[in-house]
Structure 1
């Protein structure tokens, strides 16, 4: 029986880069930095938990996303640690869906019951700590209302609206006026865990004119 808790001591054994992955169930392995992960939920089914989405970055500066289905999430969750370098083995490589893309890679890694995940402790390759899928305002306009991509944006906080802003356990909506380019201000709406996390940031003091990076946003256009 495979174990998500099994620690892989080194990365010296041959492995593939994301660019060389092939479709299907594979004997390939990859070594990458787990840059972040989050719970994926179906908003059309009352927030039903679907699984865990992972973003992985390899030594060639390529990002791919991996998915752990809900029925395997509790098995792997204890081994997930953002920022660490991991080795993945015995997974399936699938085509990325047309909608809600979180990377520019054409493939994704799908966890199977036999998938092995372990942290690399020695002989790890040099991998950057982060990489983002940034989009300019004109690109966000093209993506608006299409649900094709969930890009990252950076901007300056101009004002914040919402209730219970000092309560970081509250998950109700927060609306941020966000300056993303000179003379371009958008409204950033945060819900659920994102709203709670943002309230936690507000507790440390006035954040007006602070610069913030927000990942996996869904651009929308409202009005005429």
Structure 2
């Protein structure tokens, strides 16, 4: 019989010992550059010492284990591989992660005597979010009061859907946006507090945006202990429970505008907040500024050229393998960056969603 092991005591390699863990959340990780191809089924596991660890099931084994997965349940886990945690998009503070293999034993345990917490979140301060922005190092959790909700799902527009929640968070794409909108519509009353998990912070145009990822889950009001605590601070004795400061906004008017008309608005119109959609064709590339570069095969950042090799400063790797990558510098995008973003509060992902790759200058 295998011995019991805590998550904090994991070492690299095949683990034959048994751990008892609670499955907090799981989700599909898909490759957006390959038409949403399924890469893995990812999860977060928690033990009795509140140690959180990231687990992953390769796409070839998803069908084997998926039917056993139930969020919130306690499992007996053994026969898995322990590997070094990916330094990018970290979901826990653990230095290692676990990977299921063909011999992994993962079974629901209904008679566990371990006192395993039912939830655990990784909240960060505003200053910490700014420090982590644009690094892709950590995916964090956030909770706050709903101020307004802007959705394109009900506007009848083609293309990717977006939901913008003014909280400390903005930016959800496609299936995450639809999932949020569905849950928002089904909620008995308009939520005052929303908790989001696995958020990726970005700073664009001097503003902090916290974008949802494939691992993002949404919890309203008192669905979690952390959300309930925040909710009770806002509501107090319940006198304000029925009131709400949030506002659900849909597009009032959609009309086509040329880039010249948008530029004229920026130069001549009275200051005001407007929202617009602009579809444009890339007609030329600024080759004098370099339209391609040698990027790292692992993180895609530009490599530093040495005498006989390339170095990736982002991954801290010497003799890095380089891949030719495009940077897509265009007059159109520069126009949006210089003028419309600042004058019209243009949300950056509205533009980037028009292209095959998400990018920003």
* TM-score bracket for this pair, using the shorter chain length: 0.7 to 0.9
* Count of aligned pairs between the two proteins: 203
- Give the aligned partner of residue 54 of structure 1: 43
CA distance in 1, matches of 2:6, 2:174: 35
Of residues 140, 146, 149, the one that matches 1:160 is: 149
- Give the aligned partner of residue 178 of structure 2: 196
Is the Cα contact below 8 Å between 2:78 and 2:104 reproduced in 1? Answer: yes
Query: Which consecutive residues of structure 1, in runs of 5 or more, have no partner in the other structure?
Result: 1-11, 181-186
- Give the aligned partner of residue 6 of structure 2: 17
User: With structure 2 as the length reference, what TM-score do the two structures score?
Assistant: 0.53
1:76 to 2:59 alignment: no
Of residues 106, 109, 113, the one that matches 1:124 is: 113
1:207 to 2:196 alignment: no
CA distance in 1, matches of 2:51, 2:155: 38
- Give the aligned partner of residue 3 of structure 1: none
Deviations 1:71-128 (A, max 9, x none): 0001100000000000111100000011000001001010111111100121431111
CA distance in 2, matches of 1:160, 1:95: 39
Deviations 1:153-176 (A, max 9, x none): 111111111223499xx9711111
CA RMSD of aligned residues (A): 2.1
The residue matched to 1:199 in structure 2 has which SS? helix
Question: How much has 1:147 moved relative to structure 2?
Answer: 0.3
Alignment of 1:132-151 (within 5 A): 132-151=121-140
Is the Cα contact below 8 Å between 1:166 and 1:202 reproduced in 2? Answer: no
Deviations 1:42-90 (A, max 9, x none): 2333322111111001001110010000000011000000000001111
Is the Cα contact below 8 Å between 2:80 and 2:98 reproduced in 1? Answer: yes
1:94 to 2:94 alignment: no
Question: How much has 1:217 moved relative to structure 2?
Answer: 0.5
Distance 1:177 1:93, change over 3 A: same
The residue matched to 1:212 in structure 2 has which SS? strand
Greater per-residue helix proportion: 2
- Give the aligned partner of residue 29 of structure 1: 18
Q: Write out the 4+ residue segments of structure 1 that deviate beyond 6 Å after TM superposition.
A: none
Return the index of the structure with the highest Cα Rg: 2
Distance 1:79 1:160, change over 3 A: same
CA distance in 1, matches of 2:103, 2:2: 19
The residue matched to 2:121 in structure 1 has which SS? coil
Greater per-residue strand proportion: 1
CA distance in 1, matches of 2:79, 2:2: 14
CA distance in 1, matches of 2:39, 2:85: 16
